[in-house]
Amino acid sequence: MAGGAREVLTLQLGHFAGFVGAHWWNQQDAALGPRTEGDSSPGELCPDVLYRAGRTLHGQETYTPRLILMDLKGSLNSLKEEGGLYKDRQLEAAVAWQGKLTTHREEEYPKNPNLQDLLSAEGVLNTDGVWRTKPIQNGKGEAVLPTISPTENGVRVWSDFLRVHLHPRSICVIHKYNHDGETGRLEAFGQGEGILKEPRYLEELEDRLHFYVEECDYLQGFQILCDLHDGFSGVGAKTAELLQDEYSGRGVITWGLLPVPSSLGEPQKKIYRLLNTAFGLVHLTGYSSFVCPLSLGGHLGLRPKPPVSFPDLHYDATLPFHCSAILATALDTVTAPFRLRSSMVPMAHLADLLSFSGRKVVTAEAVIPFPLDPGQALPDILGQLGGTTPWTPLSACGDSAGSRCFAQSVVLRGIDRTSHTSKLNPGTPLPSALHACASGEEVLALYLQQQHPRVLSSSHLLLTPCRVAPPYPHLFSSFSHKGLALDGPPKGAAVQSIPVFGALRSSSSLYRTLGDLAEELARLDLRRWASFMDAGVERGDMEELLQDLHSLAQCYQEGNSLSN
């Protein structure tokens, strides 16, 4: 492990969280590879923050995520619960029994036919000394990474496209509930809370927590990737409570994940989604440093709104494989401040920046990809944007345009250093104050000050782009002809990396979002949804929930600010 790494342990709870997590770990794994030939300098992001080093029985060096994941029975598909990374397949234990022996073998889940190359890549000692997925040979004799066909039937579960190997202590399967089928589903908040009230699952989680925490040199804290729309909102709430009780003083950042809702969904599923989201948000804010909902949906409540759109990519909002990839790209960007090798912003400091005055919910926004044309300088593009930065909201809280920003953390990545400052010839009149800045960091800081004066801002400008190599879906290839500064091979081949502009914000738009959520809940006739209440929620809990939502919303009133 690199000296000085401040470790972060990730807890991944739920199936959509699994989709986002799989893309995110894939992106980080791709970034671990060698950079340009002859470049031995370390990257800007420290992999040891989220990854741990290990060795197989053959002495091969490995990198596995600092990850504990919980999902339901049937979610792993062909991925073995105990993993195969540290198992010596060449050694067979001798059988001492001399009598008759009957062997029963459980039938394996069928492997996804679109992922045969990916799943059969056994992993090799890479040129950078790390054991990871090996490239395959295409028809031209070229080494390429395994790819997939991103069709609706091609990817059913997140383990279908996970590239990285997981440590055997990472996976915790909840056998009490089923991933598929009409019965035995984890549907309600109370069911999720009940899981970690059972000694079996609580002890299993605590055992995994102790394993990862005790090997850390300096633990920054925890981040929770948690489904909000189903019973995993209750699992997340109890997990955050456990972390606060056992590891007080450490940061706990929660990313509440929601797939785009179906406009044709059953009424019960829509109501359950609303209730789970509300209970999850309120309970998670009580135990987290802050909570950030992440979704490409247009609204947290029942009123249908179309999914968000991006100017320079096409995606299918009905496919979790597509939506989760975009959210993982944003997550990889906005978490960069506490993963840097230098100038690291600890998780606790980032939380203090964004969540002061009781504002424990923050929103995420991003520009994917950031539209910097070749030959253009950063002051040029920011000056052209003016006050109309094409942010796409990623928290299902509506457009934040016109809202008050109380605090923000902004990351711009993937811009070459030669494009950071103005390229105007000496003596040329400067188009804006941005063109007078001596560094890219000054350009970005001045731009944010112009957009949000008197707002506490943290900004980072990184050279490292966001990796979107396969099995990331092909969302950008149709736009490569537009001149965007996308790093990828020509002739329509898949884009390999992109520049991204991401932000976390404490915004007054949450006053309306949380208030609307409380109003929709107040109009519900709970007698029609007795099954949700029977799962462990009482009427008094609903009354307390409404009060907490209103109190939380009041923190975001524009007049209620200490930062004027």
CA–CA distance, 515 with 332 (Å, rounded to integer):
30
394, 294 contact by CB (below 8 A): yes
Residue 67's SS3 state is strand
CA distance 39 to 34: 8
Tokens 């089923």 sit on residue: 178
Q: What is the largest CA-CA distance in the chain?
A: 94
Alpha-carbon distances, residue 42 vs 27, 35, 60 (angstroms): 17, 9, 21
Beta bridge partner(s), residue 219: 7
Taking the C-alpha atoms of residue 18 and residue 34, their distance in angstroms, rounded to an integer, is 27
Read off the amino acid at residue 408. Answer: Q
From the list 276, 200, 275, the residue with the least C-alpha distance to 235 is 276
The residue ranges of the chain whose pLDDT is under 70 are 1-4, 33-41, 78, 82-154, 263-265, 386, 477-493, 559-564
Pairing of strands 124-125, 497-498: unpaired
- The confidence score (pLDDT) of residue 84 equals 63
The token pair at 50 is: 């989220």
Which amino acid appears at position 186 of this protein? L
Whole-number CA gyration radius for the chain: 24
Question: Which residue in the block uniquely carries the two structure tokens 């998780």?
Answer: 347
Report CA torsion sign: 155, 156, 159, 160: negative
Identify whether the C-beta of residue 483 lies closer than 8 Å to the C-beta of residue 376: no
At CB < 8 A and 24+ separation, what contacts does 298-305 make?
298/396, 298/398, 299/396, 299/398, 300/258, 300/274, 300/396, 300/397, 300/513, 300/516, 300/517, 301/274, 301/516, 301/517, 301/520, 302/270, 302/271, 302/274, 302/520, 304/261, 304/263
Contacts of 340 (CB under 8 A, 6+ apart): 44, 45, 46, 460
Distance CA 352, CA 358 (A): 10
Instruction: Tokens for 20, please give them.
Output: 């986002």
pLDDT, one tens digit per residue, over 338-390 is 999 988 899 999 999 999 889 999 999 999 999 888 778 999 999 888 677 78
> How far lies 465's CA from each of 22, 37, 415, 496, 554, in Å?
19, 17, 7, 9, 38
DSSP notation for 404-442: PEEEEEEEEE---GGGSS--PPTTPPPSSGGGG-SSHHH
- Work out the angle between the directed axes of helices 539-554 and 267-287 (0-180°, nearest 10): 60
Position 483 scores a pLDDT of: 45
The residue count for the chain: 564
- Phi, psi for 410 (deg, rounded to 5): -125, 140
Distance CA 284, CA 348 (A): 16
CA 519, chain centre distance (Å): 29
CB atoms within 10 A of CB 306: 11
Helix/strand/coil (H, E, C) string of 355-411? CHHHCCECEEEEECCCCCCCCCCHHHHHHHHCCCCCCEECECCCCCCCCCEEEEEEE
Task: Return the ∠ at Cα 73 (arms to 68 and 74), rounded to 5°.
Answer: 110
The pLDDT of residue 264: 63
Chain segment 177-202, per-residue pLDDT in tens: 988 777 788 999 999 999 999 999 99
Nearest to 362 by CA among 132, 99, 556: 556
DSSP class of residue 61?
E
CA distances from 4 to 53, 217, 262, 462 (A): 15, 8, 46, 20
